[in-house]
Amino acid sequence: MILNFDNPPQFKTIAFKYPNRDYSYSKEFKAQQEKAYSIFPLKIHGTKEHALKIAGKIARKNTWDIASVDTNQFRIEATATTKILKFKDDIVIEIRELEHDSIEVYMRSKSRRGHGDFGANAKRIASFLQELKEEISHE
């Protein structure tokens, strides 16, 4: 599952750690996701630094295994483990600057196993973005 179908966040740290896994994003997959999901980047007012700090806080609260936090590129890579079956899903979050003190938060979540996730990655992204929006708006 991905937020931005044309310029998706790319896995770097996790892809380096697991070079035999395919972390690419094919055109065929893009078409399937555009049809099935209506999740878009989160646009909010604020700074990339602050959003990265809050995103990291939420990732830790969700007990994701954080692979890297890049404070220069405003990226987080992590792995979530499902509670019941213990499946691993890899996550990348990028915070991109817009104009007028606004930013966009992009997120991609990819299952390591199987071809279907029963919507788990989409739910994770929607939940994370909602929590991020609420955290930033309540400060």
Average pLDDT, the chain: 86
Cα R_g (the chain), whole angstroms: 14
CA 73 to centroid of chain Cα atoms: 14
Global pTM reads 0.88
Q: Could you tell me the domains of the chain?
A: 13-20+34-137 (3.30.310.80)
Task: Note the pLDDT tens digit of each residue in 55-81.
Answer: 999 999 999 999 999 999 999 999 999
Helix H, strand E, coil C: the string for 55-95 is HHHHHHHCCCEEEEEECCCCEEEEEEECCCCCCEEEEEEEE
Give the model's pLDDT for residue 112.
Answer: 84
Report the pLDDT value the prediction gives residue 1, as an integer from 0 to 100: 45
pLDDT in tens, 87-122: 899 999 999 998 878 999 999 998 887 666 677 888
